[in-house]
Amino acid sequence: MSDCLVIGGGIIGMMTARSLSLAGAKVTLLDQQQCALESSWAGGGIISPLYPWRYDKLINELSSASQAVYGQLCAQIFEDTGLDPEYLKSGLLMMDEFGTPKASAWLKTHHLNYENHPRGALFTQIAQVRNPRLLKALKVDIINKGVVIIEQTKAEQLLIKAGQVIGVKTNQQDYLADHIVVCSGAWSSQWLKLKDEILPIKGQMIVLKAEPSAVSHIVLDQGRYIIPRKDGRLLVGSSMQNVGFDRSTDQQTRQSLQDFAVSRFSQLAKAKVEHHWSGFRPASRSGKVMLGRFGKFENVYLNTGHFRNGLNMAPESAKRITQLIIHQ
Ligand SMILES: Cc1cc2nc3c(=O)[nH]c(=O)nc-3n(C[C@H](O)[C@H](O)[C@H](O)COP(=O)(O)OP(=O)(O)OC[C@H]3O[C@@H](n4cnc5c(N)ncnc54)[C@H](O)[C@@H]3O)c2cc1C
């Protein structure tokens, strides 16, 4: 019998598996395909909510606690695996909204300062991570720590005996466990009946090949952003589309993302679009993160619904679920 069964191998599932394993649990992680190919791969890797004042208390708590440990966590994973997640405090230049009464009040209460910049407000403490690299490193790290990863295995339903959950039925075989943590992102409502349904909200992104230093900070304006990677590549995102599990990308969105980048930095007019992709953000209908016990079951936990902020909130979400399981 495995102590803990984690369903889903995105950032949330792998961080949860790491945290449980460090706390001494025997952990098995299942993924319906390969780990790290979905939203956590597709995302931008900004380690902050875009406009924090738009979010509830829990989201801000999870974000700020995660932000406080992210740099050290990435350094540790780099040291343990030799794979660099490219954590970078590039700062975030916000061009809009920072001066509204709601934003000003929030910034004051949260003691968050910015530097004045000719084009807006520069939040120097905001960082980014190169999420596909973080995921690659994290996978190696958890395997080294003893987590058993089983891919191409889809959780189909909870196994219940005499009113108790004893494991999970999959398309391969049954897995028994003392505790089950659901980290199946946008697919969570496909195999579990959740009161607060999880919807897949598609986001499209592009990456531009530019000269390093063309853009030096993350730039945010009108809900869209540009993220400068260390090698000069610029991620530009993103759309928000409630269209089910339709992965297609379209020319119109690609063009509007490119236009956004060029309108803010005219020198990007000749930068080539290297790649264009989409991912499914796990969004609950209520807008809330689902972190805690699932319904009446004492040993089933939800760690999902992170919507636009899962990369950012993963470390603290994993820590809280671990504390709940270990200390009951
Ligand atoms: C375009 C875009 C930009 C984004 N930018 C940012 C950003 O800058 N910062 C930020 O913090 N967040 C960002 N996000 C959001 C972030 O990516 C998500 O919140 C986060 O990745 C969710 O992580 P997850 O592990 O829950 O989901 P996923 O990464 O989608 O992982 C879920 C995993 O569960 C597996 N699974 C599903 N169902 C089953 C099943 N039944 N059995 C077994 N396995 C199953 C899937 O195969 C998948 O591997 C962005 C998202 C998008 C799409």
Supply 232's token pair: 């000069």
Ligand 1 atom with the shortest distance to the CA of 31: 44
CATH topology of domain 198-284: D-Amino Acid Oxidase; Chain A, domain 2 (3.30.9)
Q: Is 16 in the pocket of ligand 1 (CB under 6 A)?
A: no
Q: Where are the domains of the chain?
A: 1-88+126-197+285-328, 198-284
- The structure tokens 């606690």 sit at 65
Looking at the predicted structure, is the pLDDT value of residue 1 above 70?
no
Dump pLDDT digits (tens) for 56-66.
Answer: 999 999 999 99
Question: Which mutation among 90, 308, 317 tests ligand 1's pocket best, with the greatest number of atoms within 8 A of CB?
Answer: 308
pLDDT for 203 equals 98
Dump pLDDT digits (tens) for 148-185.
Answer: 999 999 999 999 999 999 999 999 999 999 999 999 99
CA of 267 to the centre of ligand 1 (A): 33
Q: Give the strand order in the sheet containing 115-117.
A: 115-117, 120-123, 92-94, 218-221, 224-228, 233-237, 198-209, 272-284
> Chain-wide mean pLDDT for the chain?
96
CATH homologous superfamily for the domain 1-88+126-197+285-328: FAD/NAD(P)-binding domain (3.50.50.60)
Ligand 1 atom with the shortest distance to the CA of 188: 38
Model confidence, pTM: 0.98
From the CA atom positions of the chain, what is the Rg in Å?
Answer: 20
Dump pLDDT digits (tens) for 93-138.
Answer: 999 999 999 999 999 999 999 999 999 999 999 999 999 999 999 9
CB 313 within 8 A of CB 303: no
Q: Looking at ligand 1, which residue's alpha carbon is closest to its atom 4?
A: 43
Lowest mean pLDDT among 195-199, 208-212, 231-235, 277-281: 208-212
Dump pLDDT digits (tens) for 6-47.
Answer: 999 999 999 999 999 999 999 999 999 999 999 999 999 999
Burial class (CB in 10 A: 0-12, 13-18, 19+), 111: exposed
pLDDT for 2 equals 57
Question: Which mutation among 15, 31, 37, 39 tests ligand 1's pocket best, with the greatest number of atoms within 8 A of CB?
Answer: 39
Q: Is 305 in the pocket of ligand 1 (CB under 6 A)?
A: no
Dump pLDDT digits (tens) for 118-129.
Answer: 999 999 999 999
Supply 231's token pair: 């090698």
